[in-house]
Structure 1
Amino acid sequence: MLNNLIYSISKKYIVVVFLIIFGFFAPTSSAQNLDSLLVELESVMSKRSVYDNEKETRINNLKELLADKNNTNKNNYYLINKIIDEYAYYSFDSTLCYINKNLKIGQELKNDHFINETRLKLSSLLISTGRYKEAVDLIGSIKKENLSDELINNFYENNMEVYSRLSFYTPISENKKAYQELYEIYKDSLLSRIDKDSESYLAIIEKELRDERRLGEALVINSKRAEMVPNDSRAYAIIAFERALLYLIKGDVENEKMNLIKSAMADIHESIKDNASLTLLSTILFKENDIERAHKYINFSFEDAEFYNSQFRFVNISNILPVISKAYEKNSMEQKSKLKTMLIFISLLAIILLASLFYIYSQVKKLAYARNKLKIVNKDLKKLNAKLSVSNNDLNRLYNELSEANRIKEHYIGSFLNLYSDYIDKLDIYRKMVRKYISTNKFSTLLDLTKSKQVIDTEMEVFFKNFDESFLHIYPTFIDQVNNLMQDEYLFGVKNEDRLNTELRILALIRLGISSSSQIAKILRYSVNTIYNYRVKIRNCATNRELFEDMIKKIQ
């Protein structure tokens, strides 16, 4: 806040403000700590891509191990578990994809432990993204008596979490009471099984103390939990966030903000995209009128939520994002207005100064005019010659490009005319043959001929051949450029360099501006569902499935 105050006022009274603030006021230790934490947070935020690249590297290394064909299904299950752990809180879609793969492996191996473990992972994912109904149904399908000791703990934890959230969010008092009772049952069951000195046990006790507003005791336990985990871990991010909640209840805003900052830094360092700390921090800063930081942080949170594909986070962010954005725009307009006023004042001073300089310069120029005139003319001639040379080069380049374009046009006009002429000849031959069959009363033969799809298939093959050759003539590196957008294991390999397969033809039509599945289906004579399935399959194999088709349209 202190820095923002200096920034907003300095444009008008910078010298006075510095004297007043630094001469008469000394920042408290708490404010210094908060300011240094904010600086550190923004430094960590600027390195988000570095942490994300490290995450992607770990994931890609695991995927390379998974691609080994010598792996057994059991080995693949454990490798996929590691991939799921990396993707958790990073990408919802990828986490769900690999959970489904492990579920399939467990079913193929008929391994109840694998199946139950994967279902519990899936239920945890559903809970964290606000899909409580699906999570309750899934957990309800798991038989506790078939679980190992470790999985029973996970079973109780998931039940605790889902009923805790349902109790918190439901507006119906009767349901809230029922959910709370279920939470208490599963909580007691879990507490009876786990070590009392474990972080999990302490977390449950801390929540109880927080709910009972025994905040001093809760803070002591929270500190003990924080000592048990690294400062840049997901667990620390949760602990710091829960400590911020304790200070929120106490009304200690400064400590609340400091712990939200620590939680956010741990989330960013671990590439946790499903997070809440920055959103809550931006809300607090907005209330304190620190609009610029609030806007920056809420947009950062929105980008994370969008990357993770968390509808739950989108709902939370959407409640505050428009308000902050509107305030930010208003603040920007006010700053622009102030800058405009200052600019007008400075412009007037500049005009006076320029007028004075112009008068002095004109007097000096008169004395040097005769001596420098010839030199100026020579320089101008050199500049004109240089411009003419550049213009000639540009004209030559344009002429060559136009010549090449005309040559391509002539080539394809000729090809079109030849193809059209061929179709007229084929229609005439077909007409004569039909006439011949009719005149000789060979109606059954004519009927058999019309039932056959051989003519259509032959013509489609000719059409595909002409289309492939023409398209690859215009875009000779199209296949290579498409492969640059695909995951390594899904590269297109074409046997005939002059021909495209169905997937590449669909991408070729998209590059030509035909993006409607119905239009593509009509051209390639497939059903719309078939074209849609092809497109989904290709996107899923791309390195960037969201922007894949837009990148196809930009291929040169």
Structure 2
Amino acid sequence: MKYLPTRILWLLFLPLGLLAQGTPASTLRTLNEAIAQAPRYDAVKRQRIQALQTTLARTPAAALQERFAVCGQLYDEYKVFNYDSAYRYARTLQTLAAQLQDPARVTFARIKLSFILLSSGMFKETYDSLSLVHIDDAPDSLRAEYYTLLARYYYDLADFDNDTYHTPGYTRLANRYVDSALQLYDAKSFQYAYFNGLKYIRSGNMDSALTSFQQIINNPMLSTHQYAVTASTLSDIYIQRGQVDTAISLLIEAAIADIKTSTKETAALFNLATLLYKKDDVKHAAAYIEQAIRDAMFYGARQRKVQMSAILPLIESEKVNRVESQQQMLFIYSAIVTFLLLVVVWLAVVIFRQFNKLKHAQRLITESATHQREINAKLEEANRIKEEYIGYFFNVNSVFFNKMERFKKSLDQKVNDRKLEEIRFLVNNINLKQEKEDLLRDFDKVFLKLFPNFVQDYNGLFEPADQVKLKDQELLNTDLRIFALIRMGIHDNEKIAQILEYSVNTINTYKTRIKNRSKVPNEAFEHHIMEIKAE
């Protein structure tokens, strides 16, 4: 559905007196309900497209005529729905027509490509494409479509230039192409009636145009899309005649019909927003212009975006002006009220602010208390760990010093008695490996006393097949000790390596291998370890 850009000017500068009457809320509500249902209509459209695409995928590559027919259907589905997809299938039609070496199909494909280029506002590309069409030997239906497309092209150029020099010439040329098309269309067809009425509009014969389009819109055989096109065009006539409420009702019906047919290349909603803006219904105007912009963006209509940029800033500016006007009225009213009311309002504001401050302070206190409880819990846990391990290491050191003292006394005695063989036996009898194992086992006991659920919580981070299975009499293994030390707050790999008597590379290898097996992301593994609670 093409929108004539010159309409923007006389829609925007239409006398306000013509727009005095209100728009029935029920009709706008019906349109709003249709807009809300648009995704459902679009879903039905996509289902049809998906079915055709499936048919095309199943059609053998050698079946050129069948593929051409399906691509033509896909083009028809997309031509007012999405420019990019319609353009792609128009190009595919050209390729298939060339392979079929069928001049009629070549012309058909070229006309379809030209239509979609013009719908997107690409005038130069449309002219280049139309100049390649050879229409002499084409069927009447293609010739008629070609002439109406040329008429649309020159009408759009006339609207785009909108001057006193080029526009009349373009309009005359377009009218001649309409005359050529009318000679080929069936006089009872929709195309004949529509383009005949359009010629009346362009020639300035509004009475004949009105009669023509009223006859068309009363035809019960119109498709939903044809009704939308007719209603939108008829609304232009009523606007020029000053019957704006009738035009608005027609545009609402056209917009609803466009929504039901998933037509995104449309001007009805945009024109409706423009008229509602002039009627000071900024709320609905803003909503409809935003929907029109979304449709234009989805379709890819370049000229639509330019047209909408002319009205959208005005609507947004009017919204701002209304807010400012309301603020001024509030200021005037506040100057009229009595002193007592001002005092009451002032007290209410003060109480409200104090209440908000109190709520804010209460929230801060609650957050601080929660944070403090967390800190206290962590400090309590740290103190328990510290107390346990200070006692543990004092006990270990005490036992170690007692052993060393006994060893020193025995060694001194042996040295004094010069019993070298017994000294060698005494030294060789020191089992450092066993001492280290005893030290680690004592560490395991103290750690599990603090974190009795550590092994269970640790295994919870792995799938059953990757969980740690300890041997008999084994409290912790190397994997568990590495992360036990981390839970104790020792995160430095070098310190962990010194405690466990491994190299730093070995510790890194252990940690990487363990994290890779876990269910949680590697970077979050140690965080989960630190979340294991002490008891």
Do they superpose with TM above 0.5? Answer: yes
Alpha-carbon distance in structure 2 between the residues aligned to 1:61 and 1:269: 19
Q: Which residues in structure 2 correspond to 1:81-230 (within 5 Å)?
A: 81-171=72-162, 173-228=164-219
Native 8 Å contact 1:34 1:254 kept in 2: no
Native 8 Å contact 1:232 1:270 kept in 2: no
Native 8 Å contact 1:163 1:183 kept in 2: yes
Cα distance change of structure 1 residues 33 and 306 upon mapping to structure 2, 3 Å threshold: closer
1:50 matched to 2:23? The reply is no
With normalisation by structure 1, the TM-score equals: 0.56
TM superposition shift of 1:168: 3.0
Q: What's the CA shift string for 1:468-491, capped at 9, x where partnerless?
A: xx9xx9999xxxxxxxxxxxxxxx
Alpha-carbon distance in structure 1 between the residues aligned to 2:78 and 2:98: 22
Alpha-carbon distance in structure 1 between the residues aligned to 2:41 and 2:273: 22
Q: CA RMSD in A?
A: 4.5
TM superposition shift of 1:346: 8.8
Native 8 Å contact 2:178 2:196 kept in 1: no
1:234 matched to 2:225? The reply is yes
Native 8 Å contact 1:260 1:281 kept in 2: yes
Amino acid at match of 2:113: L
TM superposition shift of 1:339: 9.0
Q: What's the CA shift string for 1:505-531, capped at 9, x where partnerless?
A: xxxxxxxxxxxxxxxxxxxxxxxxxxx
Q: What's the CA shift string for 1:139-196, capped at 9, x where partnerless?
A: 1211112312221111111111112222333245443344234223322222222222
Q: State percent identity of aligned pairs.
A: 24
Cα distance change of structure 1 residues 89 and 475 upon mapping to structure 2, 3 Å threshold: farther
134-143 vs 84-93, which moves further = 134-143
Q: Which residues in structure 2 correspond to 1:336-485 (within 5 Å)?
A: none
State the secondary structure of the residue aligned to 1:258: helix
Provide the residue aligned with 2:451 in structure 1: none
Native 8 Å contact 1:199 1:228 kept in 2: no
Q: What's the CA shift string for 1:242-275, capped at 9, x where partnerless?
A: 1111111101111111111111111111111111
Alpha-carbon distance in structure 2 between the residues aligned to 1:207 and 1:298: 26
Cα distance change of structure 1 residues 344 and 259 upon mapping to structure 2, 3 Å threshold: farther
Cα distance change of structure 1 residues 172 and 213 upon mapping to structure 2, 3 Å threshold: closer
Cα distance change of structure 1 residues 70 and 171 upon mapping to structure 2, 3 Å threshold: closer
Provide the residue aligned with 1:280 in structure 2: 271
TM superposition shift of 1:213: 4.2
With normalisation by structure 2, the TM-score equals: 0.58
Amino acid at match of 1:223: Q
TM superposition shift of 1:106: 1.4
Native 8 Å contact 1:129 1:310 kept in 2: yes
Cα distance change of structure 1 residues 346 and 35 upon mapping to structure 2, 3 Å threshold: farther
Alpha-carbon distance in structure 1 between the residues aligned to 2:342 and 2:285: 31
State the secondary structure of the residue aligned to 1:207: helix
Provide the residue aligned with 2:508 in structure 1: none
Q: What's the CA shift string for 1:10-40, capped at 9, x where partnerless?
A: xxxxxxxxxxxxxxxxxxxx96873321111
Provide the residue aligned with 2:322 in structure 1: 331
Native 8 Å contact 1:230 1:236 kept in 2: no
Number of equivalenced pairs: 358
Native 8 Å contact 1:291 1:331 kept in 2: no
Alpha-carbon distance in structure 2 between the residues aligned to 1:349 and 1:200: 71
80-89 vs 172-181, which moves further = 172-181
Cα distance change of structure 1 residues 103 and 229 upon mapping to structure 2, 3 Å threshold: farther
Alpha-carbon distance in structure 1 between the residues aligned to 2:323 and 2:149: 46
Provide the residue aligned with 1:319 in structure 2: 310
Native 8 Å contact 1:210 1:218 kept in 2: yes
1:36 matched to 2:23? The reply is no
Native 8 Å contact 1:279 1:298 kept in 2: yes
Cα distance change of structure 1 residues 310 and 353 upon mapping to structure 2, 3 Å threshold: closer
Native 8 Å contact 1:106 1:115 kept in 2: yes
State the secondary structure of the residue aligned to 1:145: coil
Alpha-carbon distance in structure 2 between the residues aligned to 1:345 and 1:210: 64
Provide the residue aligned with 2:240 in structure 1: 249
Cα distance change of structure 1 residues 290 and 113 upon mapping to structure 2, 3 Å threshold: same
TM superposition shift of 1:226: 1.3
Cα distance change of structure 1 residues 324 and 111 upon mapping to structure 2, 3 Å threshold: same
Alpha-carbon distance in structure 2 between the residues aligned to 1:216 and 1:204: 15
Displaced runs of 4 or more, over 6 A: 30-33, 336-354, 395-404, 473-476
State the secondary structure of the residue aligned to 2:58: coil
Cα distance change of structure 1 residues 212 and 105 upon mapping to structure 2, 3 Å threshold: closer
Native 8 Å contact 1:274 1:305 kept in 2: yes
Alpha-carbon distance in structure 1 between the residues aligned to 2:113 and 2:32: 34
Provide the residue aligned with 1:66 in structure 2: 56
Alpha-carbon distance in structure 1 between the residues aligned to 2:95 and 2:521: 41
Provide the residue aligned with 1:462 in structure 2: none
State the secondary structure of the residue aligned to 2:136: helix
Cα distance change of structure 1 residues 345 and 233 upon mapping to structure 2, 3 Å threshold: farther
Amino acid at match of 1:257: I
Amino acid at match of 1:39: R
Provide the residue aligned with 2:262 in structure 1: 271
Q: Which has the higher contact order (CA 8 A, sep 6+)?
A: 2
Alpha-carbon distance in structure 1 between the residues aligned to 2:27 and 2:283: 17
Contiguous gaps of at least 5 residues in structure 1: 1-29, 355-379, 411-416, 419-469, 477-556
Provide the residue aligned with 2:283 in structure 1: 292
Cα distance change of structure 1 residues 351 and 164 upon mapping to structure 2, 3 Å threshold: closer
Q: Which residues in structure 2 correspond to 1:18-37 (within 5 Å)?
A: 34-37=24-27
TM superposition shift of 1:239: 0.5
Q: What's the CA shift string for 1:193-227, capped at 9, x where partnerless?
A: 22222222212222233345443432222122113
1:79 matched to 2:70? The reply is yes
Cα distance change of structure 1 residues 39 and 474 upon mapping to structure 2, 3 Å threshold: same
Alpha-carbon distance in structure 1 between the residues aligned to 2:136 and 2:202: 32
Native 8 Å contact 2:155 2:170 kept in 1: yes
Cα distance change of structure 1 residues 217 and 475 upon mapping to structure 2, 3 Å threshold: farther
State the secondary structure of the residue aligned to 1:320: helix
State the secondary structure of the residue aligned to 1:146: coil
Cα distance change of structure 1 residues 69 and 117 upon mapping to structure 2, 3 Å threshold: closer
Cα distance change of structure 1 residues 166 and 345 upon mapping to structure 2, 3 Å threshold: farther
| 2:292 maps to which of 271, 292, 301 | 301
Cα distance change of structure 1 residues 269 and 353 upon mapping to structure 2, 3 Å threshold: same
Alpha-carbon distance in structure 2 between the residues aligned to 1:140 and 1:346: 78
Native 8 Å contact 1:237 1:263 kept in 2: yes
